[in-house]
Amino acid sequence: MTAVRDLTWRIAPGQRLVFEDMDDGVLLYDSLVGRTHLLNATAAETLTVLERNPGLTSDAIRRHVTEALDLPVDALPLSAVEELLDWFERLGILVAR
Amino acid sequence: MRPRDGSMPALLLRAIRDPAALRGLDAVTWQRLLSCARRNAVLAYLAERAHACGMLDSFEERPRLALMSARIGGRRLTQLARWELDQVTRVLSAKGIPVIALKGIAYVLREMPHASTRLMTDIDVMVPHACIAEAESALRDAGWRDTKLDPYDVTYYRRFSHEIPPLRYPGRLLGVDVHHTICAPVSRLRPDPNAFWAAAQPTVMPGVRALSPPDSFLHAAVHLFFDSDFDGRFRDLVDLHEMAITFGEDAQFWPALVSRAAEIGLGRPLFYAVSMLDSILATPLPAGIRADLDRFAPLGPVRAWMSRTLQQVLTPIDPEPWPPLHAGKLWLLYVRSHWLRMPAHLLIPHLVRKSLRRAGDPATQTQ
Amino acid sequence: MNLADLPAHAVHRRLAGEGLLLHIPPIAVRIRSPMRAFAEQLRTMYSAYEIAEAGTFADIDVRIIPKRSKRLRPLACFIVDGVSPFDPFPRDHALPLLEWGVNWVFAQRMHQYLLLHAAVVERDGAAVLLPAWPGSGKSTLAASLACRGWRYLSDEFGVVVPSTLSVLPFPRPAALKNESIDVMRSFAPDAFIGPIFPKTRKGSVAHLRVPSPSVRRARDPARITAVFFPDFQAGAPVSVRPLSQSTAFLKLAHNAFNYEMLGETAFRTVAAIVRAVPCRIIRYGDLEAAHLQIEILMKEPAHAPA
Q: What DSSP state is assigned to residue C44?
A: H
Residue B1 has pLDDT above 50, yes or no: no
- Closest-CA residue of chain B to C79: B322
Alpha helices in C188-286 (DSSP H): 212-216, 245-255, 259-262, 264-276
Q: Does residue B139 surpass a pLDDT of 70? A: yes
How many structural domains are present in chain A? 1
Instruction: Say what angle helices B61-94 and B43-52 make with each other, to 10 degrees.
Output: 110
Radius of gyration, CA atoms only, chain C: 19
B164 pLDDT above the threshold of 90: no
- Res B356 pLDDT > 60: no
The pLDDT confidence band at residue B360, using thresholds 50, 70 and 90, is very low
- Taking phi first (over 0 means left), then psi (-120 to 50 degrees means alpha), and beta for anything else, what does residue A38 get? beta
Decide if B362 contacts C86 (C-beta within 8 A).
Answer: yes
Other C-beta atoms closer than 10 Å to the C-beta of A28 total 21
The helix/strand/coil state of A16 is coil
One-letter amino acid of B113? P
- As a whole number, the mean pLDDT across chain C is 95
Q: Between C55, C83, C260, which is nearest B364 by CB? A: C83
Say which residues have a Cβ less than 8 Å from residue C203's Cβ, sequence separation at least 6.
C177, C178
Q: How confident is the model at residue B364 (pLDDT cuts 50, 70, 90)?
A: very low
pTM: 0.90
> C161-181: per-residue pLDDT in tens?
999 999 999 999 999 999 999
CB contact under 8 A, C263 and A24: no
A38/C271 Cβ within 8 A = no
| Residues of chain C found within 8 Å of residue B72, distances taken between Cβ atoms | 111, 261-262
Please, which pLDDT band fits residue B152 given cuts at 50, 70 and 90?
Answer: low
Ranking B83-92, C16-25, C61-70 by mean pLDDT, the lowest is C61-70
What residues of A are in contact with residue C274 (Cβ under 8 Å)?
22
A82 contact partners, CB below 8 Å, separation of at least 6: A4, A58
Q: Does A13 touch chain C (CB under 8 A)?
A: no
pLDDT of residue B226: 75
Closest alpha carbon to C217 in C129, C141, C150, C159: C150
Element (H, E) at A52: helix A41-52
CA distances from residue C158 to C24, C50, C152, C218, C236 in whole angstroms, order as listed: 15, 22, 11, 13, 27
This complex has an ipTM of 0.93
Of C201 and C284, which is predicted with more confidence? C284
Smallest CA–CA distance, residue A45 to chain B, in Å, is 25
Between CA B166 and CA B88 the distance in angstroms is 13
Residue B134 near residue B97 (C-beta atoms within 8 A): yes
d(CA B308, CA B318): 18
| Cα A3 off chain centre by | 19
Residue B365 scores a pLDDT above 60: no
- What angle do the packed helices B327-341 and B213-226 form, to 10 degrees? 120
* Rg value, chain B, Cα: 20
Q: Which residues pair with C222 in a beta bridge?
A: C167
Identify whether the C-beta of residue C271 lies closer than 8 Å to the C-beta of residue A20.
Answer: yes
Show which subunits contact B, needing at least 3 CB pairs below 8 angstroms: A, C
- The set of residues, in sequence order, having a beta carbon less than 8 Å from that of A29 and lying 6+ positions away, is A17, A18, A19, A20, A35, A36, C263, C264, C267, C268
Residues 6+ apart with CB under 8 A from B357: none
Element (H, E) at C38: helix C36-45
Which chain C residue is nearest to residue B73, measuring alpha carbons? Answer: C261
The stretches of chain B forming alpha helices (DSSP H) are 8-17, 27-39, 43-52, 61-94, 103-109, 132-141, 151-160, 193-199, 213-226, 234-247, 253-264, 267-276, 289-292, 300-314, 327-341, 344-359
Cβ–Cβ contact C260 with A under 8 A: yes
More confident position, A2 or A37:
A37
Subunits with at least 3 CB pairs below 8 A relative to chain A?
B, C
How far apart are the two ends of chain C, measured CA to CA in Å? 35
Q: Residue B126 pLDDT more than 90?
A: yes
Q: Which of B76, B80, B86 lies at the smallest CB-CB distance from A92? A: B86
Size of interface A-C (CB pairs under 8 A): 40
- Average pLDDT for chain A: 93
* B59: DSSP letter: S
Q: Chain B: nearest CA to A82, how far in angstroms?
A: 20
Please report, as a single letter, which amino acid is at residue B350. Answer: H
Angstrom distance (rounded) from CA C89 to CA C97:
7
Tell me how far CA of residue B137 lies from CA of B95, B132, B144, in angstroms: 11, 9, 9
For the cut 70, the answer to whether the pLDDT of residue B185 exceeds it is no
Q: Which of B88-92, B202-206, B311-315 has the lowest mean pLDDT?
A: B311-315
Kindly state the helix (H) or strand (E) to which residue C105 belongs, with its residue range: helix C94-109
Decide if B123 contacts B101 (C-beta within 8 A).
Answer: yes
Please give, rounded to a whole number of angstroms, the shortest distance from the CA of A66 to a CA of chain B: 32
A29 interface with C at CB cutoff 8 Å: yes
Domain span at residue A77 reads: 4-96
The helix (run of H) or strand (run of E) holding residue C230 is strand C222-232
**The pLDDT of residue B352:** 56
Answer yes or no: are the C-beta atoms of B222 and B103 closer than 8 Å.
Answer: no
- Pick the residue from chain C with its C-alpha nearest to A17: C264
**Residue B149's pLDDT band (cuts 50, 70, 90):** low
CA distance B260 to C189: 77
Neighbours of C295 (CB within 10 A): 11
Query: In Å, what is the CA distance from B123 to each residue of B67, B110, B127?
Result: 24, 15, 13
Q: Chain C within 8 Å of A74 (Cβ-Cβ)?
A: no
Q: Which residues of B touch A89 (CB under 8 A)?
A: none
Distances (CA, A) of B253 to A80, B278, B296: 54, 17, 18
Rounded CA separation B120/B367 (Å): 11
For B8-359, CATH gives 3.30.460.40
Residue C107, classed as helix, strand or coil, is helix
Specify whether the CB–CB gap between C90 and C73 falls below 8 A: yes
Q: Residue A33: what pLDDT?
A: 87
In a mutational test of the C interface, the residue from A20, A24, A37, A38 whose CB has the highest number of chain C CBs within 10 Å is A20
Strand partners, B167: B146, B176
To the nearest whole Å, the CA of C88 is away from the closest chain A CA by: 35
Work out the pLDDT band at B361, boundaries 50, 70, 90: very low
B and C: number of Cβ contacts within 8 A: 73
Share of chain B above pLDDT 90, in %: 62
Sequence-separated (6 or more) residues with CB below 8 Å from residue C247: A24, C279
Q: Is A27 on the interface with C (CB under 8 A)?
A: yes
At A20, which helix (H) or strand (E)? strand A17-22
Per-residue confidence (pLDDT) for residue C92, from 0 to 100: 93
Asked whether A96 and A8 are in contact (CB, 8 A), the reply is: yes
Give CA separation, C156 vs B290, C93, C100, C102, C183, in Å. Answer: 56, 20, 11, 12, 19
Contacts of C52 in chain B (CB under 8 A): none
CA distance C36 to A96: 67
Give C245's contacts in chain A (Cβ within 8 Å): 22-24
Residues of B in Cβ contact (< 8 Å) with A34: 76, 79-80, 83
Lowest mean pLDDT among A81-95, B222-236, C198-212: B222-236
Residues 6 or more apart whose Cβ sits within 8 Å of residue C232 = C135, C136, C137, C140, C141, C283, C284, C285
A-B interface: how many C-beta pairs under 8 angstroms?
8
Q: Can you tell me the distance from the alpha carbon of B244 to that of B253, in angstroms, rounded to the nearest whole number?
A: 9
Is the Cβ of A33 closer than 8 Å to some Cβ of chain B?
A: yes
Secondary structure letter of residue C168 according to DSSP: E
The DSSP code for C2 is B
Chain C hits for B317, CB-CB cut-off 8 Å, are 82
Q: In what order do the strands lie in the sheet with A17-22?
A: A17-22, A25-30, A35-39
How is chain B split into domains, by residue range? 8-359
The verdict on C254 touching A (C-beta cutoff 8 Å) is: no
CA distance C88 to chain B (A): 8
* Cis ω before B202 (30° cut-off from 0): no
**Contact flag B72-C55 (C-beta cutoff 8 Å):** no
Partner residue opposite B63 with nearest CB, options C57, C79, C260:
C57
Percent of chain C with pLDDT over 70: 100
pLDDT tops 90 at residue B341: no
In the three-class reduction of DSSP (H, G, I as helix; E, B as strand; rest coil), residue C284 is classed as strand
In the DSSP assignment, the letter for residue B312 is H
Confidence band for C70, pLDDT divided at 50, 70 and 90: confident
pLDDT (tens digit per residue) in C78-93: 999 999 998 999 999 9
Contact status, residue B160 vs residue B342, Cβ threshold 8 Å: yes
CA distances in angstroms from C2 to B291, C23, C53, C195, listed in the order given: 63, 10, 11, 21
Neighbours of C84 (CB within 10 A): 21
* C253/A36 touch (CB, cutoff 8 Å), yes or no: yes
